[in-house]
Amino acid sequence: MAVIAVGVDHEHASLDLLERVSIPEHRWGKVLRELVSHRNIHEAVFVSTCLRTEVIATIDFFHSAIEDVTRTLAVASGVDEAELGELVTVSFDRGVARHLFEVAAGLRSVVPGEYEVLGQLRRALEVAEEESTAGPELVELFHRALASGRRVRAETAIARGTTSFASAAVALALEGVGDEIAGAPVVVVGAGQLASGVARSLVGLHPPIGELVIVNRTAARAEALADSLEDPRVSVAGLEALPELLTRARLAVVAAETAGPLVTVEHQRAVTGPLLLVDLGLPRAVAPADAAGVRRLDLDDLRERVDAALVGRREAVGHARSMVEADVDHYLEDRRSRGASPVVRALRERFDEIVATELARRAGELGEWSPDQRDQLSSVVRSVVAKIAHRPTAVLKEAAGSEHGVRLSDSLRTLFDL
């Protein structure tokens, strides 16, 4: 079996396409079940975040696997298969490991080194394990990638400064409102991981904000977040209160998973004072609108700001890439050893069985040979067989983990009935 990654991400696709292909978590299970229903796909993990939607899978045949994954994503998202097929990026075998390790390290993120991606990958694996679509191969790959990502952040400067979407979004918002944030009312829509990071950044600002209202569909989650902040300025409200809250807020950050805009055109046109809306949703959570006094920023604006701030961190990014490459090499070396071991062991056992069977069958022909002579004959025969087996097993170990290695393993199993 080989490993493949197929999907779309912010480096190669537009925000519009990413928005349309994004799939909420409650539907991941169905996507995973559909993926492994294909005979060509054995294991699958589905990753869907605001900046990437992709599948990592173990497969038999490369080209048909791309078609199976692309078709599944097209059906699940409602995006035309032909359109999606033109924009998907594909990684294979070693490229999959490098890709996933770089994603875990934050090297493929809008904010290099950001931490949220580790939680996103961990959750994707958890869902796949719950659905029984992640087997030993992908579980090991994800665990090693997550461990590498943590090590990169601990041992390089890539995690210095603004290292999360949340903190970068708040920094972007501060550029938009300036000193007007002091004592101002602020709204955060959402209560998940991203919204939590935004809220924590906001309550820690200096000069301080006036009040923070957390708006969420589920009151219990909003209240749990508010309690964790331990700040008397924080309160909670339901979505029905959002229109009124926007009319008196100076800043609103929308970081919620939604099938459509939570902040509508009508909401924005009802605002009379200056309001900055920061839309971190994908699909977009703030409808485009031409409303006086309302300014809107989104993920494209965040990406531009981070690109400008990266100038002084190129060395740290280079160091991180070197560490990731070394971790990928170690992982693949371990994978090659694991992949070759069962076939090598079976081949050696088959050769030992043949030698033992033939020596036992021909024992009567050895006549008056002494036990020492018989042992010497057995030693010579086994030594010759070991030398014959050496080259095939060495080549198999070198090729293990690759498509060529798969073909060699299949050939050995067929030739020697392993």
CA of 241: how far to CAs of 213, 215, 245, 247, in Å?
A: 10, 8, 6, 11
The tokens for 72 are 């599944």
Catalytic machinery residues: 50
Handedness of CA 95, 96, 101, 102 (dihedral sign): positive
Strand stretches in 183-255, DSSP E: 185-189, 211-215, 234-237, 251-254
CB-based contacts of 335, cutoff 8 Å, min separation 6 = 140, 400, 401
Distance CA 350, CA 385 (A): 11
CB atoms within 10 A of CB 226: 19
Instruction: Confirm if 197 and 165 have CB atoms less than 8 A apart.
Output: yes
- Compute the C-alpha angle 408/412/413, nearest 5°: 115
Percentages of the chain per state (helix, strand, coil), in multiples of 5: 60, 15, 25
- Compute the C-alpha angle 100/106/112, nearest 5°: 150
CB atoms within 10 A of CB 307: 10
The tokens for 12 are 């190669």
Instruction: Confirm if 44 and 56 have CB atoms less than 8 A apart.
Output: yes
Distance CA 288, CA 404 (A): 51
